[in-house]
Homo-oligomer: A and B are copies of this chain.
Amino acid sequence: MAAKDTTPARRTTIYDLAALAGTSASAVSAVLNGSWKKRRISQKLADRIMRIAEEQGYSVNIQASLLRRERSNIIGMIVPKYDNRYFGAIAEQFEARARRLGLFPVITCTQRDPDLELEAARELVAYRIDCLVSTGATDPDHISALCAAAGVRTINLDLPGSKAPSIISDNYSGALDLTRHILDRCEKDLGDKRPLLFVGGRATDHNTGARIRGFRDAHAERGIPVSEEFILACGYAAEKAERALAALDMPLPRGMFVNSTITLEGVVRWLNQNRPPSKHPLRYGCFDWDPFAVLLPGNIGMVQQDVTHLLDKVFEELETPSGAGEPILVPCILRTL
């Protein structure tokens, strides 16, 4: 109890190491950041500095380093949620790949909240990120504008924008395939030829729009008219789906197209409480994949978005910028069950 915690423990700096090694801070810096060969530092001095740095448990002050350097090598990503396999996989793979490229990934989860998205983007910009990947952003163009003003590139993932290159799934084709499959199975298994019910998503968001087009076109191919009441774009949240189903003003169709796994949670919950499958056999498919949802009775197909391929494109864009334009479409994988 001599001095009461008089150790604010100033971290070792290159100056400390320089003193210990009897050399200059420049030499230490050069050795530690790898530029020492170009700077004609002898192997001997390099070794000594390295050894001392390790002994002292030295760790660069990135803040100081970045302040001086041109690029930060920090790459930011905003992501709506972590409550499903799709975004989870995006986050994991994004991190792994960024790291492989020597970049430092910083991912922020914005809860599908437009204000939070902007706030998070602003914060990341303050950290001088080199590039921001906006995943599933509500208003990607707003984010791009904000970043552009600070000279930060953006890439849109999952939902397209007009001010930055966008990489998204081919939602139309995915929905077309899934809808065809559900219609087939409804007819084959249940002898039902009526239109399916589309549940979940926001009618204003690009992906839901594309999926609804695919959904409608698959019906049109078969000459099945789809009236408005069959489209329940009630939002993504599980509770919203439950409420929408409860408020349904017609007999529940035998086939359903569920627009996301989180929506599926609500749908399944509602069905279990209101339409025991024994009494009301159903066939449904879901846009997005989940390993347990795959096993649900009645689930006959899940569209898995190709995360690896999507991120391939993101990192291609990162390395050789092509600029904004038509979204790059990545095919989905239909997993029939």
A contacts, CB < 8 Å to B = 8-9, 11, 57, 59-64, 66-67, 72, 81-83, 85, 87-89, 91-92, 95-96, 104-109, 111, 122-123, 125-128, 146, 149-151, 238, 261, 264-265, 268, 272, 290-293, 295-297
Contact = CB atoms under 8 A, between A and B. Distances in A.
A108 B95 contact: yes
Nearest to A104: B123
Nearest to A268: B295
Contacts of A66: 63
A126 B146 CA distance: 28
The 4 closest A-B pairs by CB, nearest first: A292-B292, A82-B88, A9-B151, A57-B149
B128 A111 contact: no
Contacts of A64: 63, 67
B88 A92 contact: no
5 contacts: A59-B126, A62-B63, A81-B88, A82-B88, A88-B88
Nearest to A57: B149
Contacts of A89: 82-83
B128 A61 contact: yes
Which one of A11, A293, A295 has the greatest number of beta carbons of chain B within 10 Å? A295
Nearest to A66: B63
Contacts of A297: 297
A208 to B, nearest CB: 22
Nearest to A299: B292
B111 A96 contact: yes
A196 B23 CA distance: 66
Nearest to A264: B292
Contact of A83 (B59, B92, B150, B296): B92
Contact of A292 (B59, B67, B88, B268): B268
Contact of A85 (B62, B83, B123, B238): B83
Contact of A63 (B127, B146, B150): B127
A166 to B, nearest CB: 22
Nearest to A12: B150
A64 B105 CA distance: 20
Contacts of A82: 82, 87-89, 91-92
Contacts of A9: 151
A104 to B, nearest CB: 7
A91 B62 contact: no
A128 B62 contact: yes
Contact of A59 (B87, B109, B150, B293): B150
Contacts of A92: 81-83, 109, 111
Given A95-B109, A272-B295, A125 B59 contact: yes
Contact of A128 (B63, B88, B108, B126): B63
Given A82-B91, A92-B81, A63 B67 contact: yes
A268 B95 CA distance: 29
A95 B77 CA distance: 14
A64 B66 CA distance: 9
